[in-house]
Structure 1
C-alpha cells in the first residue's frame, strides 16, 4: 500500500506527567490547579514532531476524580483550551476519552442503572467538547466495543463531519483484560459506519503489539479504514515504589517503523513514552516517508475479506454435551471439595453417584467463600479415578485473568470439557480484613473470555460452559436479563439455585417461558433438618424456603427429617420434570445417601415399566 502520509500522535500524558512533576495529583486535576504543566507537556510533544495531540481527559469522569458534573465540565473546558492554545491552527486536537471507571461494589440489579449513568456522562462530555469546537474524537484503551461504538454513532448523528478513532487495549496474546478477543473488537469497529479509524494501544510494548497486528488475517482487504497503533514503551518495573519504564526512544522508534510495512497509517505512544520517543519516531518518519500528515490518512476501499474463526464451540469427546443435545434429562450431582487432607472421601462420594445414575459430578469453588481444595484439581481427580465426568465451578472471586487462564489451560490438559462460570460467594466477614475478593471479571465476562479461548487456543475442542440463575433474586426481571446476557456471551446451559415450593416452581416456569434457547437445569437441595432449613432460608443468598416447609421439619428426628427432605426433593423433581432439561442435586452435609436415594427413586419413576 502506498503511504500518502502518517498521522503521528503524541505520547503518554499520565506517566510523563508523573516523571516531570511527581505524583501529587492526577494529571487531569492539574488542568484546574496547574494548567501550565499540561501546556508544557503538549508543547514538548509538538516540538518533538507530533502532528496531533490529545486532550488531557483520559480519566476525566466523576468516579475517577471524585467530582460532580459541574467540576467535570470545567475540567473539559480547561483541557480543550490548553490543548488548542498549544496546537494553534495547524495541528489538530483530538478530544480524548478513556474507559469509564468501574464500580466494583455494584449489586447485580444495579448494573443496568450504572451502565445508563456511564452513557449519560459520556454523552455529556461529548456535547461539551462539540460545543467547544471539537471535531476529532479518540476513544482509547477500551476493553469492549459497546460504549465507544455507541459514542461514535452519537457523534456522527450530531456532527456528521466529525472524525472518530476507536482503540482497544490488548495483551500480547491478543485478548483484553476483560477477556475479549482483540481481533473481534477490531473487526466490529471496522464494520461500524461511524468509526473512521480503528486500532490498538496500551498494555503491550511495540514488539508484541506489532506481532499481534501482523497476525490479523487479511487486514487490509477487510476494512478500507486506517489502522492505528500506539503501544507502551515496553513493560514497567517497580523501582523504589514507582512504576518505571525503560528509557528506550531509539528502540521504540525502530520497532515502530515496521508498522509502515503492515499498512499502519496512525502512530503514537502510550504509557512510558516521552517526547524523546516521539522525536525519534518523527525523525525516522521524515527520512522514510518524506513527511507525514496532520490529516486523517485514507486507504483505498477493498472488498471485505477478514475471516474470523467462529466462536461456536464444537465439543469433542463430551458425553454431557451429547446428552444436552438429545433432550434426555441430564442428572448432575454437586460435591464440595475437601476442606482438609481427606481427598478419598470425595472420590468415594463421586463413585457412589456414578453408581446411582448421575451423568456428571460438579465441584463447587470455595462455596460460601470458605477455603477448600481447588475445584479444578478435585474435578480432574474425580474424572481420572472414578469413571465419571466432572464439572468444576469457576468463580471470579479468587483469581485475576492470569490465574483464570492458567487454570483453564490446566483443566483442558486434564480432559475437563465442562464448566460452570459463577461470580462466587463473597468473602466472609471474619476473613474480609485479610482477604480481598479479586473479581477481575464477572460471570458474564468470564463466559465471554472462555469463548475467546474456545475460538483460538482450544479451537475444535473447547469447553462447554454454563451459567447460574438465582431463582431467589429480589428483582427476578433483572436476573432474567442477566441470564439472557450469559446466553448471548456463550453459555450453553443454565443451572438454577435450589428450587423450593410453589414460588420456586413458578419462577422456574418463567425462566423456561423466557425462551433463552439453551437447556435449563433445576437445582435441587435436600433439606436435612429444621435447623438446616432455617440456616438456608436466612443466611444463604438466593434461597427461599416456604413457611409450611420450614414448619414441617420442626421436632423431627434425624432419620425422619432426612426422609422428609428426600420426599420434598422428589416432589419438586416430579413437579418440574416437564419444565426443565435436567436436575442438579446438591449434597447437604456429606449426606450422599440422601442424594443417591433421590436419584434412584427418580430414575425408577421413569422406567418404562412405570408407564413412562
Structure 2
C-alpha cells in the first residue's frame, strides 16, 4: 500500500469522492458547448474554487478538470496540440487546492473516453487509444496527481487501452464504466464482465465500479452485479444526480441532496468503498451525502427491492 489512495482505504471503511465537474462549471459561467478542460488555462481561479467547495463539502478525493483532455476530444475545440499543457494545468490546480486542506485529500487525474468508437465496430484501434491515453496520463503525472481516474468508459477495448496507459506511466488507477438501464454499457458490457476483465489485466486497478448513468438507483443495481461476480476489489459508485431536464434555459437534475444522501447510505451498506456523484452533483449534494454517511447507522445490506423503493421514496419526498 504505497500509494495514498490505498493507504486511506486501509484506514477508512469508505471514502467520499467529489461531485460533478462540467455541470458545476456551467453554473459558474462556462458557456454551453465549450470544453470545460480549457478553463484550466483560461479560468484557473474558478476551477480552484470548485475544488475548494468540494473539499469543504467533505470530499476525500477530487478529480482534475481533464475529463475530455485527450487529443481526440480536444480536436473539437481546435486544442489537440495543447494536451500536455491542459492536463498539466488541471493536475497543478488540484494539487495546489489540496495543499490548502487540513486533512489528506487524494488528487485523481480524470481521464474520460476518447469520443471515438473502438474497432472493430469503429475505426479507433487499441494501440491508438493507448497512445492517446498515455499522452494524457504523462501530463497528469507530471502535474502531480496521486492516481489516474478512468471513467465513463463503455468498451472493453478502451478500458484495456487506458489500463496500459496507466501501466506505461507507472501510476495506480481506478476504472469505471457507465451502464444503461438495461444493465449493460452502450457497447454491451455487463457488470460481471467488467469484474472479470479487471482481474485479468496485467496492471489491475486499485478499485473499480460505475459512474454517470441515468441515476442512483440504476447505478446501484449495476454495482450489485459486481458483488455477484465475487470480486473482492474495492468498489466505486458515482452516479448522476438523477435525470436532467431543461429549465430556465439550462439543465436541472431531478436528484435532490436528500436523494443523493439516500444513495450514499445505500452504497455504503452494499459495501461500496468509494462513493461520490457525477453529473448534476453539486457541493450541496455532496455535503448532504457526507452528513448522511457519518450520522446514519447501517441498516444491513439492502436488497434490489429495498434500493428501488428507498430511492423512489426519496424522489417522492422532494
Taking structure 2 as the reference length, the TM-score comes to 0.80
Aligned residue pairs total 282
Question: What is the rounded CA distance, in whole Å, between the counterparts of 1:211 and 1:110 in structure 2?
Answer: 29
Paired residues of 1:73 and 1:128 also in contact (CA < 8 A):
yes
Q: 1:195 aligns with which of 202, 205, 213?
A: 205
Question: What is the rounded CA distance, in whole Å, between the counterparts of 2:142 and 2:225 in structure 1?
Answer: 40
Bigger relative CO (Cα 8 Å, ≥ 6 apart):
2
Question: What is the rounded CA distance, in whole Å, between the counterparts of 1:151 and 1:211 in structure 2?
Answer: 25
Paired residues of 2:71 and 2:81 also in contact (CA < 8 A):
no
Q: Structure 2 regions of 5+ residues with no counterpart?
A: 1-9, 299-318
Over 3 Å counting, the alpha-carbon distance change for 1:247 and 1:218 in structure 2 is closer
Q: Give the drift of 1:186.
A: 3.0
Over 3 Å counting, the alpha-carbon distance change for 1:173 and 1:179 in structure 2 is same
Counterpart position of 1:209: 219
Counterpart position of 1:28: 37
Question: What is the rounded CA distance, in whole Å, between the counterparts of 1:9 and 1:110 in structure 2?
Answer: 33
Question: What is the rounded CA distance, in whole Å, between the counterparts of 2:284 and 2:271 in structure 1?
Answer: 24
Paired residues of 1:143 and 1:180 also in contact (CA < 8 A):
yes
Counterpart position of 2:55: 46
SS of residue matched to 1:264? coil
Paired residues of 2:242 and 2:255 also in contact (CA < 8 A):
no
Question: What is the rounded CA distance, in whole Å, between the counterparts of 2:297 and 2:90 in structure 1?
Answer: 32
Question: What is the rounded CA distance, in whole Å, between the counterparts of 1:37 and 1:185 in structure 2?
Answer: 36
Counterpart position of 1:156: 167
Q: Give the drift of 1:284.
A: 1.5
Taking structure 1 as the reference length, the TM-score comes to 0.43
Q: Give the drift of 1:157.
A: 5.3
Question: What is the rounded CA distance, in whole Å, between the counterparts of 1:211 and 1:68 in structure 2?
Answer: 38
Over 3 Å counting, the alpha-carbon distance change for 1:32 and 1:154 in structure 2 is closer
Over 3 Å counting, the alpha-carbon distance change for 1:130 and 1:93 in structure 2 is same
Q: Give the drift of 1:72.
A: 1.5
Counterpart position of 1:82: 93
Question: What is the rounded CA distance, in whole Å, between the counterparts of 1:170 and 1:244 in structure 2?
Answer: 21
Over 3 Å counting, the alpha-carbon distance change for 1:4 and 1:82 in structure 2 is closer
Counterpart position of 1:19: 27
SS of residue matched to 2:254? coil
Question: What is the rounded CA distance, in whole Å, between the counterparts of 1:109 and 1:43 in structure 2?
Answer: 41
Over 3 Å counting, the alpha-carbon distance change for 1:257 and 1:40 in structure 2 is same
Deviations 1:394-413 (A, max 9, x none): xxxxxxxxxxxxxxxxxxxx
Coordinate RMSD, CA, aligned? 2.7
Q: 1:260 aligns with which of 265, 268, 271?
A: 268
Counterpart position of 2:250: 242
Deviations 1:184-238 (A, max 9, x none): 123312443522111000012111211232344634xx22210100011001112
Deviations 1:466-506 (A, max 9, x none): xxxxxxxxxxxxxxxxxxxxxxxxxxxxxxxxxxxxxxxxx
Counterpart mapping for 1:216-295 below 5 A: 216=226, 218-219=228-229, 222-239=230-247, 242-246=250-254, 248-288=256-296
Paired residues of 2:17 and 2:276 also in contact (CA < 8 A):
yes
SS of residue matched to 2:28? helix
Q: Give the drift of 1:179.
A: 2.6
